[in-house]
Structure 1
């Protein structure tokens, strides 16, 4: 499977950019669903280490990955590949999406590390429809709520410069405030009620958090304005931290 990926120069138009590869544990094939879940988690959690600033990434690319199939597994090929694909289907990438983390100061790094974990949690939205996997969506809502809490705590624990400190405190309080809307998702057993609450949770982030995120990023001299996301990407732009 990995051998089927053709190499190309980053300077030339290309269909994707590989940023990670790993082998799944040996043993019996666990099923397509389990393999996809493991690969999705591994790749999503490593996006920010390759490209720390989601606002620079999401306007250009979306997550893609290549899990081993049952046939690959039978041949002893358990390798999975993580890649970025163009944000729009049919487009191509030009230039590398890798960002130099060494160019960041400690305040920028602190913010992007915390935001990267939260963006990764949001991006792990289950691939199937809510009607098919409500329990997985409930777990995801709780997962996002947990990372909203960690994000708020990371902001509080860091010693910010004088100009950024009030914005960081405001953002931490806002993140804690919207966390409850995501926690509600874990308790809803009705699909329609879940979808309604999901919309509320997203809108609360857009209304109560997004403006402060932009203000703090501006103060930290991180990339602005917000990227323009496509229908194929999640989280959408108003939810990106």
Structure 2
């Protein structure tokens, strides 16, 4: 690819093609050099343009810093790799290039949604795996590039196997995850920017209303799932939903705080572990979520 060719921007990781130089002195060094050359040749043969990434592709980026990406190494998913394409979409709402920050804002909003369709149970993701994305740059946009590739990428080290669990989940597992993910999506996507309720009571009430609605949807889905622990969770979340509704209708900050304490603790991920175990889902609360509720 020529120097002036368009590239795509990778947030969190960058990829550049590496050149391999080998020298041999003794027999063992020659053997090592040959093995290295073979590995290098395999890596070169697996190079693909970032424009050709497809949903489900497992890959290794050719670099480790944020920046522009031209190529990645596509590998079989059973081999150790750093990332997997977990979602795709095109930016159709913008006629002209909106700028790097605007493109990132679009990807920040849509990639977690797309990735969740690919791997609904985020608790089952390998430790250290997070959502990253390849996005168009001003240069590639000019050539017609509008695609965003959402990925699950390990920030340090590698993992093996595909993360695509959507097709292997049972109906009750899917129903549970859809409802549960909806609750936490509602909580995080409506989080007010102000740190205190006094500074933005309407914003916090709007968040409470969104979480209460998501809980109602989750509870509807749980009605069709059998199990002792699921039943206990359903009963507990019913009470929690009422606390969120009280917070949503709070007359002032004090009334909001009174309802919010029970509302917030009611969606503590730890309280869903027993039901998850009963459903055959992952039971280890992700460290970042555990930290939020522990504080």
TM score, norm. by length of structure 2: 0.58
Q: Which runs of 5+ in 2 are unaligned?
A: 1-7, 9-49, 52-69
Q: CA deviation at 1:32?
A: 2.6
CA-to-aligned-CA distance 1:33-73 (integer Å, 9 cap, x gap): 32222222221112221111121026351111122122222
What aligned pairs does 1:9-48 form with structure 2 within 5 A after superposition? 9-25=76-92, 27-48=95-116
Contact (CA 8 Å) 2:183, 2:215: kept in 1 or not?
Answer: yes
Aligned alpha-carbon RMSD (Å): 3.6
Q: Deviations over 1:154-212 (max 9, x none)?
A: 3145333252323212123224425766x69xx99xxxxxxxx9xxx79963x333243
* 1:70 is the counterpart of 2:138: yes
In 1, Cα distance between equivalents of 2:83 and 2:208: 28
Pairing 1:57–2:144 present? no
Structure (1 or 2) with the larger CA radius of gyration = 2
Please name the residue that 1:192 is paired with: none
Are the counterparts in 1 of residues 243 and 263 from structure 2 also a CA contact under 8 Å? no
Q: How does 1:1-241 map to 2 (within 5 A)?
A: 1=8, 2-3=50-51, 4-6=70-72, 7-25=74-92, 27-57=95-125, 59-86=127-154, 89-104=155-170, 106-121=171-186, 124=189, 142=206, 146-156=210-220, 158-161=223-226, 163=228, 164-178=230-244, 205=264, 207-210=265-268, 211-229=270-288, 235=289
TM-score (norm 1): 0.69
Higher helix share: 1
- Tell me how far 1:5 sits from its aligned partner: 4.1
CA–CA separation in structure 1 for the residues paired with 2:205 and 2:238: 19
